[in-house]
Amino acid sequence: MTLDRVGQIAVPVRDLERAVAFYRDALGVPFLFTAPPGLAFFRCGELSLMLSTPEAGAEPHHPSSTVIYFQVDDAHAAHAALRDRGVPFLDEPHVVHRAPDFELWMAFFRDPDENMLAVMARKPVRA
């Protein structure tokens, strides 16, 4: 037995309605449904993204140390489209790794609850 597939990622949020609007409307992540108490589900390819508010008596929300990297075809185009939807980026798309056959481009941003997110794209290198 090996753990080689992730089925769902949970992201802590304070205000579920605000978070749903950001992920659904600003980012365009396909929304699935909400469920009590304070959960919302989205589809990211074969992965589910679950937004969750703190349970009663739980500690206050702190931004996640996990970063979600959304894979896109073109980091510059995704950056421009999301910025036009009001997504506040921390940086411009930039190369984070160069390999013989590709460059890895990323641009980082935060959701309304300060969770770190990024767009990432592999750009083929032409010989």
Which CATH number goes with the domain that contains 24?
Answer: 3.10.180.10
Q: Domain for residue 12, yes or no?
A: yes
Q: Domain limits at 30?
A: 8-54+63-124
Asked if residue 3 is part of any domain, the answer here is no
Flag whether pLDDT at 18 surpasses 80.
Answer: yes
Q: State pTM to two decimals.
A: 0.83
- Residue 96 belongs to some domain of the structure: yes
pLDDT classification of 124: cutoffs 50, 70, 90:
very high
Contacts of 81 (CB under 8 A, 6+ apart): none
Is 1 within the bounds of a domain?
no
What is the average pLDDT across 5-14? 89
Backbone dihedral angles phi then psi of residue 24, each to the nearest 5 degrees: -75, -50
Q: Looking at the 3D structure of the chain, how many domains does it have?
A: 1
Q: Looking at the predicted structure, is the pLDDT value of residue 3 above 70?
A: no
Write the pLDDT tens digit of every residue in 42-91: 999 999 999 999 876 666 566 667 889 999 999 999 999 999 999 999 99
Is there a domain that residue 2 lies in?
Answer: no
